Structure 1
């Protein structure tokens, strides 16, 4: 290969000897360059792409030890030194606690009482005032009335002593008192000046027995009447005037007894038993399955 190159270079020199010297040197440089190429510069390695590093996984938490039960820690009491025991307790000043201002006591509001108004009182048929509820064991009444007078023929006939009763009993009194008032005026020529009353509310059994049913008196549902006082001053009592029956006083008491059987559910007098020898017992108790049966003795 080198021989061929030299031959190709020598041919033009033979044809033009003068110019051979001028062009020899450049050709020789070319041949040298071809035959002896300059050393290549060292290759610089291409920068390597950064290797993606996976994020470091968070450390796995170590298992916690089992929790201990919520038991208060009780410290062992310190053992006092002998020197401390020798110190006079009176000489040691106790810490003074700060005074705490006492809060004012809030007064408790009284419990609200629910009671029912009585139409007989509102209409003026009876003179009465509402009393606080009664509660005594099995006995009691939520809306008791203290009755002091009963309307008859346009005027208020007073009771000898106030009676504590319920609205039902108070509402039945005016018609009965007005009937008796008419009997007294017709038969004895004197109107009623007063109704003489006995027991009203009292928590006890019937006939005051140790056992048995509770009396209607225990529910403020009964009134005892011992007699009547007339406007002319005469006093007619069940105990002293029930007999003889033919006398005007005895007839008035029997008419009063019979008239009560139409206004009250229970009427007991001297003919019923010895317990009622001195009064008429009037109540609004329930008798029978429908509470419509009346007892009149």
Structure 2
């Protein structure tokens, strides 16, 4: 294939050079090419490129003279282009990953992933005096008789974050005051719901499992102007509306602290040991039941507790945490604990987010 291209290139060069007359005779290195019966003494006619001999003879065909090096260089150049052209058109083969190389994954729907501005950087009008007054009046009515200890703060407005009537919450509970340490910046609606939770679930559960009541709650996050999980591509957090509280520990009357991180999960030794797999392969006939030793059926209306026979009993602190969290699921719009995700392994998150299909509890 390359040879055919070379021959074609030389033929095209020869045809092109025949149409290029050169005037004068070069003293050195010249190469005379003659077509027909042409003589060296022929001169170029000024018209039509024809030549007449010096004696005024008959008209003859044109004579052309060329440099040998130029002819050879053009031929080599054209042949190189012809030979290398097929190779230049082939794309390089794709690089194949090795046996242990990780396979790159495509972006997850990149059209929907884009950086959101920080909620505090979005221009938002300030609360009007009427909005602040109305929110303050509603707050005072809502917290009346709840046992909540608080004081009003200045309106908060940071972009999309804030609330017109925030309070500094220092204690909740009507039957027994539970101090919030440190004091939390929240809305009045959240404070009222927290107080109901303390009276209806927190203290009764503490008396049941801890032989006492709770005196303090460790607050680790209340109002913070941010998106969920501090991510740019997530919606605004309820913390940014002062509508959420994160609590990490509870202090008992005896002075002990019950931490969510340390006391939520059951210890490994409390779970039953896994059965031996070899026992499944051996079939043992059941013993004959004797009439006087047979197990009596459960009384009518009473269902045997199969779960209690297979699951270990809760350690008191774990049972306390599990039950107060289940109670929170009935009052708050969102109730998240260690079972939700890694971000909540050390605390409970409770907020009053409005949801269409009931509370979100995990």
Does the CA contact (< 8 Å) of 1:257 and 1:267 recur in 2?
yes
Report how far residue 175 of structure 1 moved: 1.6
Cα deviation, residue 123, structure 1: 2.2
CA distance, structure 1, for counterparts of residue 195 and residue 142 of structure 2: 9
Q: How far is 1:261 from its partner?
A: 0.6
Distance in 1, matches of 2:355 and 2:197, equals: 20
Q: Equivalent residue for 2:186?
A: 165
Which residue does the alignment assign to 1:283? 351
Of residues 333, 342, 345, the one that matches 1:265 is 333
Number of residue pairs aligned between Structure 1 and Structure 2:
183
Partner of residue 160, structure 2: 138
Match status 1:296 vs 2:361: yes
Residue 230 (1) aligns with residue 252 (2): yes
8 Å CA contact 1:121–1:127 kept in 2: the answer is no
User: Could you tell me the TM-score, scaled by structure 2's length?
Assistant: 0.49
Give the drift of 1:185: 1.2
Alpha-carbon distance, 1:195 to partner: 1.5
- 1:120 offset after TM fit, Å? 4.0
Distance 1:273 1:215, change over 3 A: same
Partners of 2:354 and 2:208 lie apart in 1 by: 34
In 2, Cα distance between equivalents of 1:274 and 1:182: 29
User: Do 1:242 and 1:250's aligned partners in 2 also have CA atoms closer than 8 Å?
Assistant: yes
- Cα drift, residue 293 of structure 1: 1.7
SS of structure 2 residue aligned to 1:140 = strand
Answer whether contact 1:120 1:170 (CA < 8 A) is retained. no
- For the 8 Å contact 1:120–1:126, the answer to whether it is kept is no
Gaps of at least 5 residues in structure 2 are 1-127, 268-313
Select between 274-283 and 177-186 the one with higher mean Cα deviation: 177-186
- In structure 1, how many angstroms separate the alpha carbons of the residues matched to 2:213 and 2:146? 20
> How many Å apart are 1:129 and its aligned residue?
0.6
Deviations 1:133-184, CA, capped at 9 Å, x for gaps = 110111110011110001242x322111111111110110112112211111
2:181 pairs with 1:116: no
Q: Which residue of 318, 323, 334 corresponds with 1:250?
A: 318
Structure possessing the higher radius of gyration over alpha carbons = 1
Aligned-residue Cα RMSD (Å) equals 1.6
CA–CA separation in structure 2 for the residues paired with 1:293 and 1:185: 29
**1:201 corresponds to:** 223
Runs of 5+ consecutive residues of structure 1 not aligned to the other structure: 1-110
Aligned partners of 1:251 and 1:238: how far apart in 2?
11
CA distance in 1 between partners of 2:233 and 2:167 (Å): 28
How far is 1:193 from its partner?
1.3
Q: Distance in 2 between matches of 1:227 and 1:176?
A: 16
CA distance in 1, matches of 2:165, 2:213: 32
TM-score by length of 1: 0.59
> Aligned with 2:330: secondary structure?
helix
The offset of 1:256, in angstroms, is: 1.1
| Partners of 1:127 and 1:212 in 2: CA distance | 33
Contact persistence 1:152–1:181 (CA under 8 A): no
CA distance in 1, matches of 2:142, 2:317: 30
Once the two structures are superposed, residues 76-97 of structure 1 have per-residue CA deviations (whole angstroms, 9 ceiling, x without a partner) of xxxxxxxxxxxxxxxxxxxxxx
Is the contact made by 1:129 and 1:147 (CA closer than 8 Å) also made in structure 2?
Answer: yes
- Relative to structure 1, is the Cα distance of residues 157 and 281 closer, same or farther in structure 2, using a 3 angstrom cutoff? same
Q: Counterpart in 2 of 1:22? A: none
